[in-house]
């Protein structure tokens, strides 16, 4: 296992600011043993691809021991690898192989809940006087003998499960097989700190904290108020406003404690899944007591795809984070609809160009770089417990979790067996091998954007200067004292022209066929085309 002296070197900027982060959902990345499920040896076989692509860090979804009721987010042992994925020795080999290629590893960690098969919970539910009883959230029935309050599980129904043996209910924000840890208990917090230390000592470069906003619940167990916006078109899980379970003040102090654990190890990073869009994201950075380095921001996946709406979302986010905070942008993930399906394959190029030219750290999901679509998986065929328990509201996360396409073979190079989820359509052309052979493919664009951001000071750490977007063109500049880039993104299927004062040169365009082209007083944009131009200033730019 790699020691501290041989860890990847530090860039002038912190590594998590200067690199692009690539999320891997291990079940769907690469299978090595023919069981149809991806694993760590499979990931190891694809490390050279990650180095070729140019990513600087991998965010790896859970590989811990788990009954797999929620595909690894129900953890029965925080300090071991599930045999489905391999062994601790396999994990160590992955860490070393990534570090040898100067790629960091960020491990997904799930502090809000465990599996009901975790030894902690088995002890907790064994009796009311067990020393670990208070490690989970237990409560007596209400006066009517029903659950203690009206809290709802995100996966449908009451968030309380009756335990016949001990005559109390336990709380679960998600599945009943995922009981919530009691983060009010200092012993729980110290035990979880030890979990983080275990992996940090093993060479992990940081963590992405799952469901961080729901760590603490109201100790008075007060009822959540009705949601005034609720209607029949919304999932029944939205019937109440989650005032007493989400983003509680204590949660922030618990995140600060996690951050303190990481700060005791040099050069590590803490990412966090947060909620409520931009409205609460600022507080997750912290102040004098720091919290997350990077509270994840998925606004690009939620905005209407037109120039005015995108510009507004960017502005709202930039104004919501604290002064001096480092932005972060997420273009895809294991529980977010695929960008190529959401905006179309042509606009997926524009989305990629936007991701890598905005100020901050870019994060994308395996397969985004080849334009993988969301697979068509019906409710009847769903594996996702979210869709199974709350059907008919578009909550199915299976479509974005379809296996990676490596080539045009029958099983797309992912497995020799039967893939755990359908591969989806258009495998013959949307696969890594095909796109690596096309110098103008979306994959080639991703690779060039990653390299340009890595080497261009204006993109890496330059000022972000929004411009007034007119019509269908999103405009902004990235500037240093002696460097200036104009980013012009046509989000429509019609041609557009941007008037300029002073010329320049195309550094990169989304179709990869105008690089080095001189630009004079007019910048012409074809339908669905984006351009990064050097030393261009828009005419009458209102900044």
Give helix 345-357 / helix 442-455 axis angle, nearest 10°.
10
Helix H or strand E encompassing 507:
strand 504-509
Using CB atoms within 10 Å of the CB of residue 385, give its burial: 0 to 12 exposed, 13 to 18 middle, 19+ buried.
buried
| Cα atoms in the Cβ-side hemisphere of radius 13 Å centred on 98 | 27
Angstrom distance (rounded) from CA 437 to CA 373: 20
Q: Which residue has the tokens 């690199």?
A: 19
Please give, one letter per residue, the 3-state secondary structure of 480-503: CCCCEEEEEEECCCCCEEEEECCC
Among 90, 98, 207, 230, which Cα is nearest to 152's? 230
CA pair distance 423, 405, nearest whole angstrom: 8
- Return d(Cα 340, Cα 102) in angstroms, integer: 29
Secondary structure class of 341 (helix, strand, coil): helix
* SS3 labels along 434-482: HHHCCCCCHHHHHHHHHHHHHHCHHHHHCEEEECCCECCEEEEEEECCC
Q: Which of 273, 384, 387, 435 is catalytic?
A: 273
* Active site (annotated) includes residue 263: no
Q: Can you spell out the DSSP letters for 19-34? A: S-EEEE-GGGT--SSS
The verdict on whether 210 is a catalytic residue reads yes
Distance CA 421, CA 378 (A): 12
From the candidates 161, 210, 246, 435, give the one annotated as an active-site residue. Answer: 210
What is residue 83's DSSP assignment? T
- Cite the active site residues: 210, 273
């Amino acid at each position: 296992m790699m020691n501290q002296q041989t860890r990847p070197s530090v860039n002038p900027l912190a590594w998590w600011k200067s690199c692009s982060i690539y999320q891997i959902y291990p079940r769907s990345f690469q299978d090595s043993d023919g069981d149809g499920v991806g694993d760590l040896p499979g990931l190891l076989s694809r490390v050279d691809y990650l180095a070729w692509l140019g990513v600087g860090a991998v965010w790896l979804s859970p590989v811990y021991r788990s009954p797999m009721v929620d595909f690894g987010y129900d953890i029965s042992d925080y300090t071991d690898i599930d045999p489905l994925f391999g062994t601790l020795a396999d994990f160590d080999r992955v860490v070393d192989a990534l570090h040898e290629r100067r790629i960091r590893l960020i491990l997904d960690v799930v502090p809000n809940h465990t599996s009901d098969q975790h030894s902690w919970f088995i002890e907790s539910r064994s009796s009311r006087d067990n020393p670990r009883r208070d490690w989970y959230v237990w409560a007596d029935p209400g006066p009517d003998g029903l659950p203690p309050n009206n809290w709802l599980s995100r996966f449908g129904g009451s968030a309380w499960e009756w335990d016949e043996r001990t005559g109390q209910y336990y709380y679960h924000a998600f599945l009943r097989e995922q009981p919530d840890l009691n983060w009010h208990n200092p012993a729980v917090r110290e035990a979880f700190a030890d979990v983080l230390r275990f992996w940090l000592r093993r060479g992990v470069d940081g963590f992405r904290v799952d469901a961080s906003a729901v760590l603490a619940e109201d100790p008075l167990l007060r009822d959540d108020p009705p949601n005034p916006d609720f209607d029949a078109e919304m999932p029944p899980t939205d019937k109440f406003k989650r005032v007493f379970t989400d983003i509680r003040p204590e949660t922030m102090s618990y995140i600060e404690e996690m951050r303190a654990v990481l700060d005791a190890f040099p050069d590590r990073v803490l990412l966090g899944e947060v909620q409520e869009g931009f409205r609460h994201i600022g507080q997750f950075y912290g102040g004098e007591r720091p919290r997350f380095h990077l509270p994840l921001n998925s606004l690009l996946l939620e905005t209407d795809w037109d120039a005015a709406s995108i510009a507004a979302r960017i502005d709202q986010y930039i104004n919501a984070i604290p002064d001096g905070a480092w932005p972060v942008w997420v273009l895809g993930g294991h529980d977010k609809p695929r960008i190529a399906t959401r905006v179309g394959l042509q606009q997926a190029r524009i989305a990629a160009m936007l991701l890598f030219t905005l100020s901050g750290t870019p994060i994308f999901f395996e397969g985004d770089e080849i334009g993988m679509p969301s697979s068509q998986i019906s409710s009847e065929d769903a594996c996702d417990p979210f869709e199974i328990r709350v059907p008919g509201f578009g909550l199915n996360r299976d479509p974005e979790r379809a296996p990676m396409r490596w080539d045009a073979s029958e099983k797309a190079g992912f497995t020799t067996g039967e893939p755990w989820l359908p591969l989806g359509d258009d495998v013959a052309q949307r696969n890594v091998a095909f796109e690596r052979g096309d110098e103008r493919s979306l994959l080639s664009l991703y690779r060039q954007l990653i390299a340009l951001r890595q080497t261009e000071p204006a993109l890496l750490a330059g000022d972000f200067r929004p411009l007034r977007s007119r019509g269908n063109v999103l405009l902004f500049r990235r500037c240093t004292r002696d460097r200036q880039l104009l980013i012009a993104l046509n989000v429509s299927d019609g041609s557009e022209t941007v008037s300029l004062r002073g010329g320049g040169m195309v550094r990169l365009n989304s179709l990869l066929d105008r690089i080095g082209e001189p630009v004079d007083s007019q910048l012409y944009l074809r339908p669905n085309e984006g351009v990064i131009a050097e030393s261009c200033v828009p005419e009458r730019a209102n900044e």
